Structure 1
Amino acid sequence: MHSHAENRGTRSLLIALCVTGSIFLVELIGGALAGSLALISDAMHMLSDSTGLVVALVATLIARKAASAKATYGYKRLEVFAAMLNAATVAGVSIWIVLEAFHRLSNGADVDARTTLLIGTIGLAANIISALVLRRDREHSLNIQGAYLHVLVDLFGSVAVIIASVCMLAFGWTWADTIASLVIAALILPRAMQLLWHAMSVLLERVPAEVDVHEIRTSLESLQHVTAVHDLHVWSLDGAEILATCHLVVEGPVTGDCDLLDRAQAALQRHGVGHSTIQIEVSGHGAHEEVCHHS
């Protein structure tokens, strides 16, 4: 089942890459001919999309490599690196768009509205196809979520280009093209920063946002025979699966350690932890090891 989802995700990325790469060329050439900043801005974002999709695709393929003696966790974290790179690229593009837009507002520019309308409509259709293809797989991978972000923002960017083109044709508002580019940037930046922070949190091995460590500790301490819990660490390897390690301190010898382990793992699973490593120790054992204390 997991392998099927991975294959489907790879196929979705390939389709989105072909569509996005084609539209990038169309928008870049059309934007240059029409003198449209909105269209060129969208084309530059398409370029970052194409690059991001290539990175996402390569990361997905490498992440499939099995764990080994040299890489005991495997390569799934590479997908998180790809997501972070995607988000940083999108944020950089949005900043460039804002700077160029303010320059145009000061100096003005002539825009061929008919060309921007035609190409904006083509771009919208292509982005809808890519978004639908990636949408079904985005929950399974932070990497594909990053690729989906690219395409979704492009979709709204195409809508902004179309609206600006209609305004220029109907009312002669040439500045509408520049305003549209600012709208595109406003759509891009917050979502890009959100994904960037999410990816960085995974790489920093922070506790996932949906997990309450205090609740986990309370659940473990309430288990029979457990007197204390220390060295409790919760993190995610790839932004999807949650992992945890902990030491359970018990009072005196405990019969049926496996039963305690089963109950502890069940408690962790109730909090969304998919994989756990648990050490059981007697109360005096703490003096023989270095304990990681949390402030």
Structure 2
Amino acid sequence: MGHDHDHDHTHRANKTRVLWALAITAGFMVAEAVGGVIAGSLALIADAGHMLTDCVSLALAWFAFKIADKKPDLQRSYGYYRFQVLAAFVNGLSLFVIAVWITFEAVERIREPVHVLATPMLIIAALGLVANIVSFWILQSGQGENLNLRGAALHVLGDMLGSVAAIAAAIVIMTTGWTPIDPILSILVALLVLRAAWSIVKKSGHILLEGTPENVDPADLSEKLARQVPGVEDIHHVHIWSLTSEKPVLTMHAVVGEGADNDAVLAALQKALSDDFGIAHATIQLESRRCD
């Protein structure tokens, strides 16, 4: 019961964090877009475009937390937690699209350089960096390994890197007048965004495909339970998957020795799964002999 209470508290806190980050990002996005057009900076325009997608991704992340609040029903017996993973997957894919767009625009700028107003670019990029740092700190202060929150944080991190690139480009342009640095640094940011996007897509895709949680070895789990829990002779048909990165689920069969107290064995197995492996939701079938 305490575990559920802690999870609910973390869930509400994470939802609030996403909402605050959304407000900050949306508020600065308009200023950066206008500043990018005035300064003629692709780095600023690209960053503003990324901020627009951030607003969408943060709104999606918040909506996913909101949907997860819905109680289980006959059609969704596990509830709506998995929607958070779907939101993370979509956010990861959108990062790929953003990176490709930035790269395409950067190549065009390298082929046909444009005049860049370095001073406005530097001021706006610096303010954008402050806004991004605040948003990223809010999201990173979230507890646990929630993929939905991580996906939203990676979008903001991409913006933060974009602001750093824009600041660096502005300084180079102010001191040397070399404008190609603007699109070149934009490509570098795009590559960093791609790397982060792959991590989110890979992990959320693994959960959506009912993959075994990375921190759990089914063979090791079976061996430890059979050895540690009195009355258990064998563990088999172990299936472990996740509703979200924070909510693993398990089903398994346990062979109970003759004369053992089935209720005591079941309680001991549930406790060991929760304490040693962090699996609070488990369905266990007790058997007198190993099934085929």
For normalisation by structure 1, the TM-score amounts to 0.91
Deviation at 1:60, TM superposition (A): 0.7
Q: Any idea what SS the aligned residue of 1:139 has? A: coil
Q: Does 1:277 align with 2:274?
A: no
Q: Is residue 204 of structure 2 the alignment partner of residue 186 of structure 1?
A: no
Q: How does 1:146-225 map to 2 (within 5 A)?
A: 146-222=151-227, 223-225=229-231
| 2:75 is the counterpart of 1:70 | yes
What is the DSSP-based 3-state SS (H/G/I as helix, E as strand, rest coil) of the residue aligned with 2:144? helix
Work out the CA distance in 1 between the residues paired with 2:242 and 2:180.
Answer: 46
State the 1:138 CA deviation: 5.2
Judged with a 3 Å threshold, the aligned counterparts in structure 2 of structure 1 residues 273 and 3 are, in CA distance, closer, same or farther, namely closer
Q: How far, CA to CA, are the matches of 1:58 and 1:80 in structure 2?
A: 12
Aligned length: 285
User: What is the aligned-residue RMSD (CA, Å)?
Assistant: 1.7
Q: What are the superposed Cα offsets for residues 31-76 of structure 1, whole Å, 9 maximum, x if unpaired?
A: 1222211111111111110000111111111101111222210111
Deviation at 1:83, TM superposition (A): 0.7
How many angstroms apart in 2 are the aligned matches of 1:225 and 1:7? 41
Hey, what's the Cα distance between the residues in 2 that align with 1:62 and 1:202? 18
Query: Residue in 2 aligned with 1:235?
Result: 241
Task: Determine the C-alpha separation between the residues in 2 that align with 1:186 and 1:144.
Answer: 21
Q: Which amino acid aligns with 2:189?
A: I
> Aligned partners of 1:241, 1:254: CA distance in 2, in Å?
34
Give a deviation string over 1:64-113, Cα, whole Å, max 9, x none.
11112222101111111111111111111011111221222222222111
User: Residue 141 of structure 1 corresponds to which residue in structure 2?
Assistant: 146
Counterpart of 1:99 in structure 2: which amino acid?
F
Q: Take 1:2 and 1:280, find their aligned partners in 2: how far apart are those partners?
A: 29
Q: Deviations over 1:128-165 (max 9, x none)?
A: 11112111115252211111111122112111110110
1:115 alignment partner AA: P
Q: How does 1:1-295 map to 2 (within 5 A)?
A: 1-137=6-142, 139=144, 141-222=146-227, 223-251=229-257, 253-269=258-274, 270-283=276-289, 286=291
Identity %: 36
Aligned to 2:3: none
Q: What's the CA shift string for 1:107-132, capped at 9, x where partnerless?
A: 22221111211110110111111112
Q: How far apart, CA to CA, are the structure 1 residues paired with 2:11 and 2:214? A: 25
AA of the residue aligned to 1:228? D
Take 1:93 and 1:13, find their aligned partners in 2: how far apart are those partners? 20
Note if contact 1:138-1:144 (Cα within 8 Å) is conserved in structure 2.
no
SS at match of 1:179: helix
> Would the aligned equivalents of 2:84 and 2:148 in 1 still touch at CA under 8 Å?
yes
Shift of 1:2: 3.4
SS at match of 1:74: coil
- CA offsets, 1:231-271, max 9 Å, x none? 200111011122111011235x4431012112222332312
- Please list every run of 5 or more consecutive structure 1 residues that lacks an aligned counterpart in the other structure: 288-295
Counterpart residue identity of residue 239, structure 1: S
CA distance in 1: counterparts of 2:248 and 2:194, whole angstroms: 28
